[in-house]
Structure 1
């Protein structure tokens, strides 16, 4: 648990929690940027694209540290919001999926 706390603090201190806000629809995509990778998250579903998600969520019944980082960043008002136009949504999603694969 100590390692996860350090990871959460590291993500927050490096401004790694990003909210991609599409306007005017107000669609939101959350990402967490780490040292070597980026993961997307769905806060409503409690989902993260990281490799540890299934182990943590399904096996242990807890949140991965990326989801913890987003929740902590929100509570500390340390979320970087990046605004886009709705017309950019499709290309953003395409690029995000491409990066994950």
Structure 2
């Protein structure tokens, strides 16, 4: 998505990028931004392999993000995979935005 690439390049969210994301993701965007500001996005790096796993803490549990293409939440399975209503659930969007903005917690294990 072009807006996320722009955010990654600039390390900030412009009004234009925010507008594009809001049009594409609606409420998912605001939930993703809330997760980022509440420091709920964590990147785990496993040593010595350097394998990376991302976790976004939701209201009731933690959700596993693998790459940018899988989340363990029901919304991902139902609305992204089955119904194809959205490209991402808010957890994947939060991960992608947090990574682009460098606003996440990193844990080395």
From 55, 62, 75, the counterpart of 1:31: 55
Find the residue that maps to 1:52 and give its secondary structure.
helix
Find the residue that maps to 2:79 and give its secondary structure.
helix
- TM-score, normalization by structure 2: 0.70
Q: 1:43 to 1:7 in 2, by over 3 A?
A: same
Q: Which has the higher strand share?
A: 1
Matches within 5 A, 1:59-78: 59=83, 60-78=85-103
- TM-score, normalization by structure 1: 0.75
1:69-89: CA deviations, max 9, x gaps?
0000011101210011xxxxx
> Which consecutive residues of structure 1, in runs of 5 or more, have no partner in the other structure?
85-101
CA distance in 2, matches of 1:34, 1:3: 15
Shift of 1:61: 4.6
**Structure 1 outlier segments of 4+, above 3 Å:** none
> Which consecutive residues of structure 2, in runs of 5 or more, have no partner in the other structure?
1-24
- For the aligned residue pairs, the C-alpha RMSD in angstroms reads 1.4
